[in-house]
Structures are given as C-alpha cells and as structure tokens.
Amino acid sequence: MRKTLRRICSLGLALGMAFPALGGAEKTVTLTFTGDVTLGSEEINKDKPNSFNGYAEREGYGWFFRNMKELFSGDDLTIVNLEGTLTDSSFQEDTTKTFRFRGPTDYAKILTESSIEACAISNNHIMDFGKQGYESTRKTLEENGILYCGNEHSFIFEKDGIRVGFFALGSMYMGRYAKTVKAEAARMREEGVNAIVCSFHAGQEYSPRRRDWDQERFAKTAVEEWGADLVIMHHPHVVQGVDILNNRYVFYSLGNFCFGGNMFINGQRKKPNIRTLETMVVQMDLRFGDDGAYLGQEGRIYPCYMSSSATQINDPNDFQPKFVTGDEALGVIERIQFDTKFDLGLLDEDEGYLNLAYLENGADGES
C-alpha cells in the first residue's frame, strides 16, 4: 500500500494536484459506475438454457451481480448503462437492426435486488422495440423506483443537502439533444445543484483500446460548455483510457459489464488483446465543503471480468461479472493505461483496486 501511495502522491505533484486537507467540515458523495448492462437477450436466443433469460430462470435474479452487491450497497448511488429494453412485448421490434435486446419488465428486480439505483438509457439499443419498448422501459424503471437519465430526461440525486445532477446522451442523439442538456445543466446550476455528471454512449465498437475524436469532443463539450464535473463513457465494448480535463476525470469506456446480448466472449481473432472480457467498475468520491461548494474528486478503479467463468474469446458468458486479481487484474489495468497519457499508478493488490489521485477544484492540471 505504501508503494502505491508514494506513486500516486508523486503523480499528484507532477499534475499540479492537491489532496484534501485534513480536518474541517466536508461532505462526500460516493458514486459507482459500470459499463454496458443488458438485462435480457435477442429474441432468437431467449429460450436457450445458456442465454441470459435461461440463467435468470435457473439461478435467480441475485446471480448476476452477486459478486458486486457488497460494493454497490456501500456507496450512495450505483448507475449502469442499460443497454436494451425492458418490455413484455416484442411489438415494434426493429428487424432492420442486426441485434435487438429486450428483457421482461420483471427483470428490473435484478437491479433493485443488487443495489443498483440508477440507469443511463440513451444508447443505440433503447429503441430496439420502438416507442413502446422505450416507454415500457421508462415506466418500468419508474415503477421500481430506479432513477434514469437519457436525452431529454435527467435526474438529481441528493444526500446531506448536496445535489448532483445526471445527464446521458448517446452519440446518435447528440445533435438532437445537446442544446437541451446544455440549457438544463445551466438551469440546475442556477437552482443550486452542486455538481453535474455526464454519461455518453459513444466511440468505435471494438476499437483497439483507443478513444476516438468524437469521444474527446464530447468530453470537452461536457466539461467546458455544460460544466460537468465528471464524465463517464461506454459503447466500445472494451475498456479504454482515462483523461483529466479542468481537473475533472473522464473515463472513455468502462467496457461491457453484465451483457446479456452476447452468450460468448467476443473479440478480434487477429488481435487477441481486443476482447470484451476485461471490464471495470469505477467508484468516485465527490467532495464538498459544508456550504456545498464543490472541492474535488478522487476514486478507485476495480478491474473485473464480465463473466466469472470465462478466460478467453469464445468462452461461454455466464453474465456474472467478477473482480479479478493478480495477472488478470494487471491485464485490465494495462489496457486502461494503454489509452491514458499519464501514469495511473500501481494496483493495490491487497485492496483489489487502483487509487485515482485527488483532483482539487480550481487547481491547474490537465492530461
């Protein structure tokens, strides 16, 4: 642990960062993020025993996030990207698309039983079953007390008088809703929201561990124009790097997580390092003064696999993400570091995560 802290401290000094001062009244909001979560499968596969639906029927709803529940339960809010629909009808299925994902509305209980309180729903699969699938998904989340954000919909999470606003946009909706998000973020600020988090579904699928120009552009728009304090991305199906803009963290892709859309681990045969198996959980502490002023942020990256039994491309997916250690964990971190311009530091193998240095609000420093 000491070695890790020394590495991170030196990194903080190099980037002009500071660690929070000891003492004094301070409030913390702890947020946990994952990448793509598909609760269900394709219509053609839903009755197969090795599909997501088959596992749900055989193992029960607690199966999928069993390894994560303790972590999710210990934070203030867990938010995932819901990649698909929750609807009991296949009406309006968009058969022009290659892949269409849905799960029955009862699958919302998978989230509530696992201490997942919120979803981002702006992505390329939310309209797989047309308007009825979209409206069913929204209604189901609302009926189960699950917060959601996406396109014109945002939400505010509150703890100890601290209010954090959440927005989500898929790249396919950026042109239509960017102005709406900008205006709503400004309104929230005027009404006293203390911090803003933006989620994007963007990037190139199975990109060789590199963010693309659109991802960087969206991150800058969120931080510099909308006033975002934290940016989370998903969609490429593989983990990508970390950036720092205005002393705010940007995560370009968290990868797949509990992904019912694939019954097997996908990847590129010619590039065996490009595979969906590696994923991560990001947990961030947003810190505020007693008066609500945003002070800064720090966090942790938990290296994970999206399946508890798979080890390589074409292995069956059991839809149960797990924490990984040793060489497996280092492999995940190496993939993230590959697309990160600054040194992320060392993995704390005793704790099972990589500490992210504290970024003080107002301090200089950009990767």
Sign for the CA dihedral angle at 330, 355, 281, 169 comes to negative
Domain range summary for the chain, segments of one domain joined by +:
2-19+34-360
Mean pLDDT of 105-123: 98
User: Could you report the per-residue pLDDT of 51-101, keeping only the tens digit for each?
Assistant: 999 999 999 999 999 999 999 999 999 999 999 999 999 999 999 999 999
**Which residue, among 273, 255, 253, 275, has the nearest Cα to 264 in the 3D structure?**
275
User: Could you report the per-residue pLDDT of 176-213, keeping only the tens digit for each?
Assistant: 999 999 999 999 999 999 999 999 999 999 987 799 99
**Which residue, among 298, 365, 364, 351, has the nearest Cα to 20 in the 3D structure?**
298
Residue 12 has pLDDT above 50, yes or no: no
User: Could you report the per-residue pLDDT of 148-157, keeping only the tens digit for each?
Assistant: 999 999 999 9
Q: HEC profile for 161-200?
A: CEEEEEEEEEHHHHHHHHHHHHHHHHHHHHCCCCEEEEEE
Q: What is the CATH topology of the domain spanning 2-19+34-360?
A: Purple Acid Phosphatase; chain A, domain 2 (3.60.21)
Q: Which two tokens stand for residue 97?
A: 């698309």
**Which residue, among 302, 291, 282, 286, has the nearest Cα to 360 in the 3D structure?**
286
Mean pLDDT of 116-135: 97
pLDDT the model gives residue 25: 84
**Beta-strand pair 77-82/118-120:** parallel
pLDDT the model gives residue 365: 52
Sign for the CA dihedral angle at 168, 202, 212, 175 comes to negative
**Which residue, among 2, 76, 38, 4, has the nearest Cα to 333 in the 3D structure?**
4
Is the pTM higher than 0.85?
Answer: yes
- Model confidence at 24, in pLDDT bands (50, 70, 90)? low
**Which residue, among 76, 88, 137, has the nearest Cα to 287 in the 3D structure?**
76
- Model confidence at 16, in pLDDT bands (50, 70, 90)? very low
User: Could you report the per-residue pLDDT of 322-349, keeping only the tens digit for each?
Assistant: 999 999 999 999 999 999 999 999 999 8
pLDDT the model gives residue 238: 96
Residue 8 has pLDDT above 70, yes or no: no
User: Could you report the per-residue pLDDT of 216-271, keeping only the tens digit for each?
Assistant: 999 999 999 999 999 999 999 999 999 999 999 999 999 999 999 999 999 987 88
pLDDT the model gives residue 209: 73
pLDDT the model gives residue 364: 63
